Amino acid sequence: MRNIVIASIAGAIFLFLAAALGTSSPLPSDEAGLEQNFDELIAPNDLRDWMKVLAGEPNHVGSPHDKANAARILEWFKDWGWDAHIETFYILYPTPIKETLELVTPKAFKATLQEPPIPGDSSATAREPALPGYLVYQSDGDATAGLVYVNYGMKDDYDTLERLGVSVKGKIVIARYGGGWRGLKPKLAAEHGAIGCIIYSDPANDGYSIDNVYPEGPMRPYHGIQRGSVLDISLYPGDPLTPGVGATKDAKRLSIAEAKSLVRIPAIPISYGDAKVFLESLQGPVAPPTWRGTLPITYHVGPGPSVAHLAVKSDWGTKEIYDVIATMKGSTWPDQWVIRGNHHDGWVFGASDPLAGQVALLAEAKAIGALANRGWHPKRTIVYTSWDAEEAMLIGSTEWAETHAPELRQKALIYINSDTNARGYLQAGGSQDFQHMVNQVAADVTDPETQVSIAERRRAKLRVAALEPGATERVKAEAKVAADPAKDFLIEPLGSGSDFSAFLDHLGVPSLDLGFAGEGDFRGVYHSRYDTFEHHTRFVDPGFVYDALLAKTVGRLVLRASDSDFPLQRASDFANAMSDDLDLAKKLLKQSREEAETQAKMIHDRAFHIAADPTKSSAPPTPLAAVPQVNFKPLDDAVNRLKRSAHAYDDALAKHSSNLPGTQLARLNSIMLNIDRTLAPDAGLPDRPWYKNVIYAPGRFTGYDAKTMPAVTEAIEDSRWADVDRGVKITAQALNAYTAQLDQATALLNGTLTVSR
Amino acid sequence: MRNIVIASIAGAIFLFLAAALGTSSPLPSDEAGLEQNFDELIAPNDLRDWMKVLAGEPNHVGSPHDKANAARILEWFKDWGWDAHIETFYILYPTPIKETLELVTPKAFKATLQEPPIPGDSSATAREPALPGYLVYQSDGDATAGLVYVNYGMKDDYDTLERLGVSVKGKIVIARYGGGWRGLKPKLAAEHGAIGCIIYSDPANDGYSIDNVYPEGPMRPYHGIQRGSVLDISLYPGDPLTPGVGATKDAKRLSIAEAKSLVRIPAIPISYGDAKVFLESLQGPVAPPTWRGTLPITYHVGPGPSVAHLAVKSDWGTKEIYDVIATMKGSTWPDQWVIRGNHHDGWVFGASDPLAGQVALLAEAKAIGALANRGWHPKRTIVYTSWDAEEAMLIGSTEWAETHAPELRQKALIYINSDTNARGYLQAGGSQDFQHMVNQVAADVTDPETQVSIAERRRAKLRVAALEPGATERVKAEAKVAADPAKDFLIEPLGSGSDFSAFLDHLGVPSLDLGFAGEGDFRGVYHSRYDTFEHHTRFVDPGFVYDALLAKTVGRLVLRASDSDFPLQRASDFANAMSDDLDLAKKLLKQSREEAETQAKMIHDRAFHIAADPTKSSAPPTPLAAVPQVNFKPLDDAVNRLKRSAHAYDDALAKHSSNLPGTQLARLNSIMLNIDRTLAPDAGLPDRPWYKNVIYAPGRFTGYDAKTMPAVTEAIEDSRWADVDRGVKITAQALNAYTAQLDQATALLNGTLTVSR
């Protein structure tokens, strides 16, 4: 042990000397040299100290610690040399006054709704109160009704209920977390006539079936509760009363009754400790195999004999939220902005979600400040943002983006987001024209556990994952690409679920979302009172190694984006992704047609009736509409044109960019700064115009997950056949507009188009 | 209520009069008329009465009730006009004297190993003792060692253990039931160096996760234990000391040490009530997702800290077993035998397994006896068999078949088996040249729940099953065929697991296995003390409706097989199946090649190492051997020839059979009587020559499930590349021999070959 201590002390002295000398030595002018200096400025102990302070008390919207954290972050930015301020917004944010959940029949049981403190954990040492387990933006109410178990409460679960001959009309549903976004559960329940919604965490999903429970292991303990927002994200995120505009003090507001993103039935989240009593009281059909969790009970669907009583009452007052905005002005192109963000509000202590990402962002900001202090200046303006009220539904980022929309549409080159973070493998999603840039950065960052690049580790993990039982076709396809070192690994398209949404979905600002995951595990404390500093340091990222690694990874993206002389996009990556997405849409249509034909024959042959067990409740499925022919030609043409143009652009950029005269280069950069805005025409998506991006959107029935070309794919999924042609048209138009811009850029590069100063 | 009683009395009077009149009225001479009379002779109350007696006390091998049941069945056959006798065999059959299972570390726990009586159930009312939960043919021993959880204990589970870096050498393994045949669990454990094996029933597989537990519902209660045989079925079934010959009193016997089918480590089956204590004591790696059951614990693999003590001591004495054989001599072709069988021994009371099938068989025998009494006589000889010691490992049927092998090879036209039975859908497997005959019968039997034919109901069920999540490619393919009314539904090839094995696998006698399943559910009491008359009548087949239906279905097969003037096979069904199986073998080879290539690249790139979590125990997989080219030409040629010949035969039979002169017809019937024997050449399968059928066999790593063309497919699966070519050759030879016989039959039909009397 002694040798290690000596080596450690010697290392500390060396680092101290290096740091002391560093402030006076000149910075290297090359990218690699700059980034090496940047890396040396990232100190895991800083991250630890910041998290300990920020996660010391509950920091939800409206809490004293949330406000204090914003003030702290502001001061840190200022200390590090940034031009920083707080922007305050005024939002509708209900907090619970009274919550009741009881089983009335067949026996009386009052749900505890409590997460008891765990000795040695912040849940036991904090002095300020946490909010109880609740679902923000559920609707207050008082319901007593029969109970029905609806599995994940997703669209296909209601199809299954129909086949079981079970209706939720006038009932209280109990759904388990998982299978899709939380907010869809009360929404779909209400749409099917339910009058209340209970959501619980099944041990199969994030409890004892996954690993030992906290504090012995990382997973959700018996009384752990997942809080969360149930605002209807598919319509618009942000303050429910100010869609499309910033929730400033004097903004024009909807009434609560007018706000379409509010769910209209009471809902409550509970632990599996509480849920077991409700579920084991149910009779009726046995739940289908895929519906069964791992409580030691037989899962029945109901209804009968169970009757539950659910009552929620909230304070619907306005709350203040605090976004911290820090700017470092660009020396060459101050009106081109590289924006970096992560939220600072948590559900209780918020250690892994969001503070793991927040402390990485702070480490970047401190290091960039230090580089600036030593004479380096970004060519473009860098904007660091620390958002509030993300947990409520991306409110801090959305209100800021809406408030500054015209300026952002002009100036935002890219938005780079992070949120949760854990020990593991690089996760990267975003606008696919930035895929090559992510690959370049990932190839230059070393994984601390294996000493290979984080790119190589991601590739290896994908290849191993593709061999595992149940690997999806998508994973297999990604693994195939990852196995070819000549190809870039793929990045996932983004939907929603974190602060990039307003930038990407509403403004058409290309966005990236990065983090590490897959080894450390915070699923079991997600949105609970146990997502604490102690849990994070024991199970998620001991030593803050991967939180620091996130800073090194995203920091490189920020440095390169702000310093690059040339456009960052590679157009053919985007074109290839569009081609793949179009193929997927066609495949989906073909499957839908086959399913409808198969079902029609089966209904004609009475197969559902004949196969049914007459001793069990059942009903035939609702007939699927016949699937008409769809004219994909406009989109086929658009994608083919895009592919050709993208290829020409990438070629021209590689050949001619370094010889381009300054005015031509400025014009080129200006085109490519705004090119992604073509994907987000002002009309937006049919029926939900806040979502303007017609290429990337969260699915109406997926919540967070992306749905590419949503106007096409969702019309197919919903059997809205008349809308498919319209979807094809608006998607093709957007791609054609993108291609037109790209052709201009290519002409500039090839010298066939010139601009005067 | 009164009306119903009157109607019921009126019905009874009508039936009484009809039965009374029936004995004197002449039988119709046509098939439909005969079968209608047969149906009317099947009385569910008979089945109920017989089951109540036969399942009244424990009836395992060696029990007084087993012997008494054989005597009863003998008397019934005689009463019904059959020429019946008992054949006795003398077999090695160990029964437990002492069993101990304890957890030693980290806490002391003595497994109960008990199934407590349930009030109102035979488990509470029987007077004779049941055997305790045990595994017959495990090896006695006394082991104290660390515990390792091995999931289902199948081949791929040991591959996963290797990847987890966990060895079972010198350990006691605990495996759950399911995933493959029971006997493979101790066998594979021993092959991997384990010194003891515990097998338990996880509630995920047949306990509370499936439905309510007995007596509230059908599923396995907390202390239910699955008994069973662990004899190495992949080598040979039957008495372990007399492979290939009948276990008559003076048969030449191996010593116990020489018997290769005996497992060499102690093993014991336990309930999930007991298993929970052992499993929750384990630490080490968390079990992979597909390994986790639904006990309310975190499943760890171990090893450590758990130490278990397992000791078993048995009485290895010889026991007598009693096969009941009943014969009705054929009027036209007495040397062509239609054999029908079902076993009569159970593990305890054996209501659903095997008595549900046994009482159906008895109903057929009684009805056929009554038809004979009224003047009907089969053209071929009918042999009804009631086997003993099936549960020990198909011993009664195997010893009888081995004893009478020369005669059976000459005379057996078909063996028709049943075993368990339940409310539900027709299940049919067997020699595919009899597929059309099964379809014809199934089209003529009416399902009592839906009033459509059992064929139509089976088709509807397959089509609905193909829509369910997780439907396999095989189910989807079967559903596609089933949806086409112009095509016969497919029957499954047979492997092992019931009394057809010696006939089909050893002698090459074409076999069928039939039953109903899918609505009534006896999985949860399978091989336990709770498989009782009460359980069967409450949950499996209330009213003995489907047990009677089995009698009507199989009875038709027996009547038609024994009365048909013409051969029963349709050769093209067999040829098509062979063509499909060859395609599957080629696909398997292609997959193996791709897997080996992918893995080799990944090992070269260190992908397994780089992707591994360094904080967790893991190891790279054993490298797969490169897959060489295989010459499928001999088999391609054989299958193509078979397809052409089969088509020609089926055509000729349809056209010319009714005009065939008597001597030609006799010769034709004689060829087709023996044609399937060509598939079972004397040399048998490489390395396990008891299995002579080179088309149908149980898989070496599947246990009961069929492996078609096993010499080819298993060599591929085991990467024994040198053996594939040999497998192709012997399989092609067998098919060519079949084709040669078929061509002779065709020539006879077409008049190009004539035979003299």
Inter-chain CB proximity B610 and A450 less than 8 Å: yes
Tell me whether residue B382 is in a domain: yes
pLDDT, position B25: 64
* Residue A454 with chain B: CB contacts under 8 Å: none
Other Cβ atoms closer than 10 A to B115: 22
Please give, rounded to a whole number of angstroms, the shortest distance from the CA of A537 to a CA of chain B.
Answer: 15
Q: Which residue of A has its CA nearest to B596?
A: A467
* Residue B615 with chain A: CB contacts under 8 Å: 519
* Residue B211 with chain A: CB contacts under 8 Å: 286, 298
- pLDDT above 50 for A2: no
Inter-chain CB proximity A607 and B463 less than 8 Å: yes
Tell me whether residue A325 is in a domain: no
> What type of residue is A505?
D
Q: Which residue of B has its CA nearest to A212?
A: B298
B214, B294, B622, best to mutate vs chain A, most A CBs in 10 Å? B294
Tell me whether residue B656 is in a domain: yes
Q: 3-class SS at A580? A: helix
Inter-chain CB proximity A460 and B611 less than 8 Å: yes
Verify that B155 and B261 share a domain, yes or no.
Answer: yes
Tell me whether residue A323 is in a domain: no
Pairing of strands A95-105, A307-315: antiparallel
pLDDT, position A756: 61
- pLDDT above 90 for B11: no
Could you say which of B318, B342, B368 is where a domain stops? Answer: B318
Please give, rounded to a whole number of angstroms, the shortest distance from the CA of A262 to a CA of chain B.
Answer: 33
- pLDDT above 70 for B746: yes
**Residue B102 main-chain phi, psi, to 5 deg:** -140, 150
B13 — pLDDT class (breaks 50, 70, 90): very low
Residue B354 is classified by DSSP as I
**How far is the C-alpha of B416 from the C-alpha of A484, rounded, in Å?**
55
Verify that B745 and B702 share a domain, yes or no.
Answer: yes
Residue range A665-706, pLDDT digits in tens: 999 999 999 999 999 999 999 989 999 999 999 988 877 788
How many domains does chain B contain in total? 4
In this structure, is the dihedral angle defined by the CA atoms of residues A254, A260, A264 and A268, taken in order, positive or negative? Answer: negative
- Across A479-499, b (16+ Cβ under 10 Å) vs e yields beebbeeeebbbbebbbbbbb
Mean pLDDT rounded to a whole number for chain B: 94
Could you say which of A316, A339, A368 is where a domain stops? Answer: A316
Q: Residue A391: which domain range?
A: 41-91+331-431+494-521+530-564
Strands lying side by side in the sheet with A511-518: A83-92, A318-328, A380-387, A333-343, A412-417, A511-518, A424-430
Burial of residue B713 (CB within 10 Å: 0-12, 13-18, 19+) is: buried
* Residue B219 with chain A: CB contacts under 8 Å: 298
Q: What is the CATH number of the domain that holds B700?
A: 1.20.930.40
Q: 3-class SS at B176? A: strand
**How far is the C-alpha of A166 from the C-alpha of A192, rounded, in Å?**
11
Tell me whether residue B11 is in a domain: no
- pLDDT above 70 for B99: yes
* Residue B605 with chain A: CB contacts under 8 Å: 460, 463, 483
In this structure, is the dihedral angle defined by the CA atoms of residues A116, A119, A121 and A123, taken in order, positive or negative? Answer: positive
* Residue B456 with chain A: CB contacts under 8 Å: 610
Please give, rounded to a whole number of angstroms, the shortest distance from the CA of B541 to a CA of chain A.
Answer: 12
Verify that B313 and B342 share a domain, yes or no.
Answer: no
pLDDT, position A1: 32
> What type of residue is B448?
P
pLDDT, position A30: 87
Inter-chain CB proximity A483 and B297 less than 8 Å: no
Please give, rounded to a whole number of angstroms, the shortest distance from the CA of A274 to a CA of chain B.
Answer: 15
Tell me whether residue B4 is in a domain: no
CB under 8 Å to B668, separation ≥6 — which residues? B566, B567, B657, B660, B745, B748, B749
Verify that A536 and A667 share a domain, yes or no.
Answer: no
CB under 8 Å to B216, separation ≥6 — which residues? none
- Angle at the Cα of A29 (from A23 to A30), degrees rounded to 5? 125
Verify that B145 and B177 share a domain, yes or no.
Answer: yes
Verify that B499 and B489 share a domain, yes or no.
Answer: no
Q: 3-class SS at B45? A: helix
- pLDDT above 80 for A533: yes
Q: Which residue of A has its CA nearest to B213?
A: A298
pLDDT, position A509: 98
- pLDDT above 70 for A23: no
pLDDT, position A6: 36
Verify that B612 and B669 share a domain, yes or no.
Answer: yes
Inter-chain CB proximity B298 and A607 less than 8 Å: no
Residue range A178-213, pLDDT digits in tens: 999 999 999 999 999 999 999 999 999 999 999 999
- pLDDT above 50 for B6: no
What percentage of chain A exceeds 90 in pLDDT?
91
Verify that B107 and B199 share a domain, yes or no.
Answer: yes
Q: What is the CATH number of the domain that holds B170?
A: 3.50.30.30
- As given in the structure block, the two tokens for residue A738 are 């993108």
Pairing of strands B135-136, B228-229: parallel
Q: What is the CATH number of the domain that holds A512?
A: 3.40.630.10
What mean pLDDT is predicted for residues A120-143? Answer: 96
Residue range A437-449, pLDDT digits in tens: 999 999 999 999 9
Inter-chain CB proximity A292 and B217 less than 8 Å: no
Q: Which residue of B has its CA nearest to A518?
A: B613
B724 — pLDDT class (breaks 50, 70, 90): very high
**Residue A417 main-chain phi, psi, to 5 deg:** -110, 155
Place of tokens 């052409």: B644
Other Cβ atoms closer than 10 A to B285: 19
* Residue A202 with chain B: CB contacts under 8 Å: none
Does residue B348 contact residue B531 with C-beta atoms inside 8 Å? yes
- pLDDT above 70 for B535: yes
* Residue B292 with chain A: CB contacts under 8 Å: 209, 294
pLDDT, position B469: 86
* Residue A217 with chain B: CB contacts under 8 Å: 298
Residue range A375-398, pLDDT digits in tens: 999 999 999 999 999 999 999 999
Verify that A687 and A661 share a domain, yes or no.
Answer: yes
Verify that B499 and B478 share a domain, yes or no.
Answer: no
B657 — pLDDT class (breaks 50, 70, 90): confident
Q: 3-class SS at B511? A: strand
Q: Which residue of B has its CA nearest to A424?
A: B613
Strands, E, within A7-110: which ranges?
A: 83-92, 95-105, 109-110
Verify that B293 and B417 share a domain, yes or no.
Answer: no
- pLDDT above 50 for B529: yes
Mean pLDDT rounded to a whole number for chain A: 94
What mean pLDDT is predicted for residues B383-400? Answer: 98
Tell me whether residue B124 is in a domain: yes
Tell me whether residue A84 is in a domain: yes
pLDDT, position A722: 87
- pLDDT above 60 for A84: yes
Residue range B21-61, pLDDT digits in tens: 444 467 887 889 999 999 999 999 999 999 999 999 999 99
Verify that B245 and B313 share a domain, yes or no.
Answer: yes
Inter-chain CB proximity B212 and A299 less than 8 Å: no
Q: Which residue of A has its CA nearest to B466?
A: A598
Inter-chain CB proximity A460 and B607 less than 8 Å: yes
Among the listed ranges A732-736, B154-158, B528-532, B698-702, which one has the minimum average pLDDT value? B698-702
The ipTM assigned to this model is: 0.93
pLDDT, position B1: 31
DSSP states of A322-386: EEEEEEE--SSEEEEEEEEEEE---SSS-IIIIIHHHHHHHHHHHHHHHHHHTT---SEEEEEEE
CB under 8 Å to B117, separation ≥6 — which residues? B123, B124
- What are B416's strand-pairing partners? B340, B512
Other Cβ atoms closer than 10 A to B470: 8
What mean pLDDT is predicted for residues A518-547? Answer: 98
Q: Which of A293, A465, A610 sits opposite B457 (nearest CB)?
A: A610
Strands, E, within B397-467: which ranges?
A: 412-417, 424-430
Q: Which residue stretches of A374-434 are H helix?
A: 390-393, 395-403, 405-411
pLDDT, position B18: 43
What mean pLDDT is predicted for residues A634-658? Answer: 96
Residue range B221-268, pLDDT digits in tens: 999 999 999 999 999 999 999 999 999 999 999 999 999 999 999 999
